[in-house]
Chains A and B, each alone.
Chain A
Amino acid sequence: MGVFSPGFRGSRRDEDVRIPPGQYLERGFPVLSTGATERISTADWRFTVTGAKGETRSWTWDETIAVGLETVNTDIHCVTSWSKLDTMWRGVPIDPFLDGLDADATHVMVHSYGGYTTNLPLEDLRGRAWIATEFDGAPLTPEHGGPARLLVPHLYFWKSAKWVQGLQLMPRDSPGFWERNGYHDHGDPWLEERYSSF
Chain B
Amino acid sequence: MTENSSAARRSVNDWLPATVVAVRSEGAGTRTLSLDVPGMRPALAGQHVDLRVTAEDGYTAQRSYSLSSPAGAVPLEVTIDRLPDGEVSPYLVDGIEVGDRLEVRGPIGLWFVWRPEQQDPVNLIAGGSGLVPLMSIVRTRATMDSPARFRLVIAAREPARDLYRDELDELELENEWLSVTRLYSRRAPVGDERGARRVDAAELASLVHPASSSPLTFICGPTAFVETVADGVAQLGHEGARIRAERFGASG
Contact with B along A1-27 (1 / 0, CB 8 A): 111111111111110000000101010
Q: Which residue in B11, B17, B249 is a CB contact (below 8 Å) of A32?
A: B249
Contact status B103-A143, CB under 8 Å: no
Contact status B96-A115, CB under 8 Å: no
Contact status A7-B95, CB under 8 Å: yes
Report the bound CA distance from A177 to B223 in whole Å: 21
Report the bound CA distance from A14 to B241 in whole Å: 37
Does A61 sit at the interface, judged by CB under 8 A?
no
Min CB–CB distance A89 → chain B (angstroms): 19
Residues of A within 8 Å of B102, CB to CB, are 3, 5
Does B53 sit at the interface, judged by CB under 8 A?
yes
Q: Which residue in A4, A9, A31 is a CB contact (below 8 Å) of B247?
A: A31
Does A135 sit at the interface, judged by CB under 8 A?
no
Does B145 sit at the interface, judged by CB under 8 A?
no
Residues of A within 8 Å of B233, CB to CB, are 36
Residues of A within 8 Å of B106, CB to CB, are 195
Does A127 sit at the interface, judged by CB under 8 A?
no
B207-249 interface with A by 8 A CB criterion: 223, 227, 230-231, 233-234, 240-241, 243-245, 247, 249
Contact status B245-A35, CB under 8 Å: yes
Residues of A within 8 Å of B245, CB to CB, are 33-36
B81-117 interface with A by 8 A CB criterion: 87-88, 91, 95-96, 100-103, 105-106, 108-111
Q: Which residue in A13, A37, A182 is a CB contact (below 8 Å) of B110?
A: A182
Residues of A within 8 Å of B251, CB to CB, are 30, 80-82
Q: Which residue of B lies closest to A180 (CB)?
A: B110
If A35-B243, A37-B227, A196-B12 touch, whether A7 touches B96 (CB-CB below 8 Å) is yes
Contact status A4-B54, CB under 8 Å: yes
Contact status A81-B103, CB under 8 Å: no
Does B50 sit at the interface, judged by CB under 8 A?
yes
Residues of A within 8 Å of B227, CB to CB, are 31, 37, 143
Residues of B within 8 Å of A41, CB to CB, are none
Does B3 sit at the interface, judged by CB under 8 A?
no
Min CB–CB distance B71 → chain A (angstroms): 15
Contact status A182-B53, CB under 8 Å: no
Report the bound CA distance from A196 to B59 in whole Å: 26
Q: Which residue in B110, B241, B244 is a CB contact (below 8 Å) of A115?
A: B241
Min CB–CB distance B238 → chain A (angstroms): 9
Q: Which residue of A lies closest to B252 (CB)?
A: A24
Contact status A1-B53, CB under 8 Å: no
Does B63 sit at the interface, judged by CB under 8 A?
yes
Contact status B244-A35, CB under 8 Å: yes
Q: What does DSSP make chain A's interface, helix, strand, loop or mixed?
A: loop
Min CB–CB distance B118 → chain A (angstroms): 15
Contact status B249-A30, CB under 8 Å: yes
Contact status A5-B13, CB under 8 Å: no
Min CB–CB distance A108 → chain B (angstroms): 22
Does A137 sit at the interface, judged by CB under 8 A?
no
Does B179 sit at the interface, judged by CB under 8 A?
no
Contact status B101-A194, CB under 8 Å: no
Report the bound CA distance from A28 to B109 in whole Å: 24
Residues of A within 8 Å of B250, CB to CB, are 26, 28, 30, 82
Min CB–CB distance A87 → chain B (angstroms): 15
Contact status B61-A10, CB under 8 Å: yes
Contact with A along B53-82 (1 / 0, CB 8 A): 111101111111000000000000000000
Task: Contacts A4-B55, A7-B100 known; list 12 others, CB within 8 Å.
Answer: A2-B54, A3-B54, A6-B100, A8-B53, A22-B62, A26-B250, A33-B245, A34-B244, A35-B240, A36-B231, A192-B13, A195-B105
| B contacts, CB < 8 Å to A | 11-13, 17, 50, 52-56, 58-64, 87-88, 91, 95-96, 100-103, 105-106, 108-111, 223, 227, 230-231, 233-234, 240-241, 243-245, 247, 249-252
